Amino acid sequence: MKILFIHNKYKQAGGEDAVLLSEEKMLDHYGCTVRSIIFNNDEINSSTQKALGFFSAIYSFKSKKRLAQEIQKFRPDVIHVHNFFPLVSPSVYDLANSYEIPVVQTLHNYRLICPGALLLKDNTICEKCVKGNFTYAIINRCYRQSFLGSTSVALMDFIHRLRNTWNEKIDRIICLTEFARSKFVDAGFTHSKIVVKPNFVTEKKFSGFKRDNIGLFVGRISVEKGVDILVKINDRINGKLLIVGDGPEIEKLRGLDNYVLLGLKKNEEVQRLMQQVSFLVFPSIWYEGLPMTILEAFSNKLPVIATNIGAMSSVIDNHRTGLHFNIDDCEELIDQINWAYNNFDSMREYGMAAYNEYLKKYSLQVNYKKQIEIYQDVINEKKRQRD
């Protein structure tokens, strides 16, 4: 099978880029022929390009032309789009349809129903644009606090909702969790076209490591990742919490007694830490797509303490693979963390349950089978339509 990946990288590398590379390697390992066309936001480096980007985010004829050339040369069986914003644009769907090539879209965030992509405003969950009225996003500059940028994204969402692009031009939409699927269905996306296929991580090797009764945080040190919650609970938890990562809010954590700031670490070092601590704390205040950090924790037999919203509510089973706390209740988080410190053996049991969940849902083998099924289904559907 020949698969064409299309992806728009942001200026700051993120989880979407890592998922793309992992899927490339996975499909190649199983004998598929994969080609990736990567657009990069680093190309937007002048005022003129930013101005032109206002229109190209809505529909880019330039990107459409470039992709047409690539499709003619590669002749894929299926096109899989990971991120089209802003350089690729939804023009890729019209192009795929013109060649009668089935197209699959993975939704890593909520961009199609929220110009800010996170369903978050002023550090609070916000769903005001979900039903299609994007005026709020423009007025409140929800995309990077930019009026022009917010207007562009809002128009893109609005116009393609009017054109019914998402329902008519895409053969299959992949959501990463049941929670995300429910949000897009509520927003008017065709129920039967959405499937749930989570991300995956490769299985880890374990070699006689010893765990300590210590917590761990891994991630960007930013507001949406719950840094303010960490500040509030510092002097109320009964143990040490290792902090791996960096970000704009890092200064808020410096000098706090119970936190050990380790800075950025290579992936191998993070894996080693996950095999040495007792639990992972994930206090994110937005719904998330499907955090790779949680999947990495599960693959390392590490339970997770997280907010009970969004992806975390779908992935973590309270008091089986980890612990939940209510997003507005710091006292409950303090209680859960201290319970974890006081019940080391129970957390080991939760870690084994998390690992079994990983094997069942988030391993490479399971992911490949699901992904190939999706590709084969849309290819067969397209054949039936032609016949």
Does residue 303 have a cis peptide bond before it, meaning omega lies within 30 degrees of 0?
no
Q: Are residues 259 and 193 in the same domain?
A: no
| Tokens of residue 232, six digits | 């509030």
Q: Are residues 56 and 148 in the same domain?
A: yes
Q: Are residues 50 and 147 in the same domain?
A: yes
Ordered strands of the 33-40 beta sheet: 33-40, 2-9, 78-83, 103-107, 172-175, 194-196
Longest dimension (CA), the chain: 69
Gap between the Cα atoms of 305 and 297, Å rounded: 11
Q: Are residues 225 and 152 in the same domain?
A: no
- Torsion-angle region of 220 (φ positive above 0: left; ψ -120 to 50: alpha; else: beta): beta
Instruction: Give the pLDDT means over successive 10-residue stretches in the chain (387 positions).
Output: 95 81 96 96 60 81 96 97 95 97 97 96 95 95 94 96 97 97 97 97 81 96 96 96 96 96 95 96 96 96 97 96 95 98 98 97 96 98 89
Residue 32 lies in a domain: yes
Gap between the Cα atoms of 374 and 80, Å rounded: 11
Q: What distance lies between CA 134 and its chain's CA centroid?
A: 22
Which residues is 323 bridged to in the sheet?
305
- Provide the number of structural domains found in the chain: 2
Residue 205 lies in a domain: no
Q: Are residues 169 and 44 in the same domain?
A: yes
Q: Are residues 354 and 372 in the same domain?
A: no
Residue type, 160: H
Residue 288 lies in a domain: yes
Q: Are residues 355 and 378 in the same domain?
A: no
User: In this structure, is the dihedral angle defined by the CA atoms of residues 100, 106, 112 and 115, taken in order, positive or negative?
Assistant: negative
Q: Are residues 96 and 224 in the same domain?
A: no
Residue 206 lies in a domain: no
Q: Are residues 188 and 88 in the same domain?
A: yes
Residue 332 lies in a domain: yes
Ordered strands of the 304-307 beta sheet: 259-263, 241-244, 215-218, 279-282, 304-307, 322-325
Gap between the Cα atoms of 60 and 160, Å rounded: 13
Q: Are residues 220 and 111 in the same domain?
A: no
Gap between the Cα atoms of 97 and 77, Å rounded: 13
Gap between the Cα atoms of 198 and 317, Å rounded: 16
CATH number for the domain including 63?
A: 3.40.50.2000
Q: pLDDT at position 12, please?
A: 67
Q: pLDDT at position 55, please?
A: 86
Query: 89 with 63: CB under 8 angstroms?
Result: yes
Gap between the Cα atoms of 294 and 184, Å rounded: 23
Q: Are residues 312 and 263 in the same domain?
A: yes
Residue 209 lies in a domain: no
CA distances from 19 to 137, 202, 338 (A): 28, 12, 34
Residue 128 domain boundaries: 2-200+364-386
Residue type, 342: N
In SS3 terms, 278-297 reads as: CEEEECCCCCCCCCHHHHHH
Q: Are residues 171 and 38 in the same domain?
A: yes
User: In this structure, is the dihedral angle defined by the CA atoms of residues 128, 131, 137 and 139, taken in order, positive or negative?
Assistant: negative
Residue 368 lies in a domain: yes
Instruction: Write out the DSSP string of 244-282.
Output: E---TTGGGGTT-TTEEEEE---HHHHHHHHTTSSEEEE
Residue 77 lies in a domain: yes
Gap between the Cα atoms of 291 and 299, Å rounded: 13
